[in-house]
Structure 1
Amino acid sequence: GFDGRRGSSFNESLALFGLPLSEATMETNPTTGQQYLTQHFERARFEFHPENQPPYDVLLGLLGRELSGKP
């Protein structure tokens, strides 16, 4: 983390992603059409991908790609 310790503190996560805007719900990923457990934050969207092994099972959504319409 920013403080030299392994992992992230609450304050570091808050600075990076902001506050949660929603509860975790199942949503269709606009890029792939697949359904994932998703939670929106002020500056990010987290998706749970159970097909991946930790630590790659929670990924950030590709918001810039989706908004720009570019593949």
Structure 2
Amino acid sequence: MRLGGADTTYGATGWSTASAPFAVGTPDADGDGIGDVWSVQANGSVRFHPGSRTALTGNGGQMIGPNSHWKTRIAVG
């Protein structure tokens, strides 16, 4: 991610293809003017990670639980 015109590590801990096999940055979804990140966790849950000017913190908010119909879907979009 480019912050202030330079490549910077952003949200470096807790992110791996094993724990979050799918993650995507999106335009601002929560109205704070900063892009956000959506991820699909290894257990199938979908999480929303509010963007920050410095780093992602916490585990994000679960938007779709791991036991929902989501796990049977094959595409996003």
TM tier relative to shorter chain: 0.3 to 0.5
Query: Would you tell me which structure has more strand in proportion to its own residues?
Result: 2
Question: If the length of structure 1 is used for normalisation, what is the TM-score?
Answer: 0.38
Which protein is richer in helix relative to its size? 1
State the TM-score, normalizing by the size of structure 2: 0.37
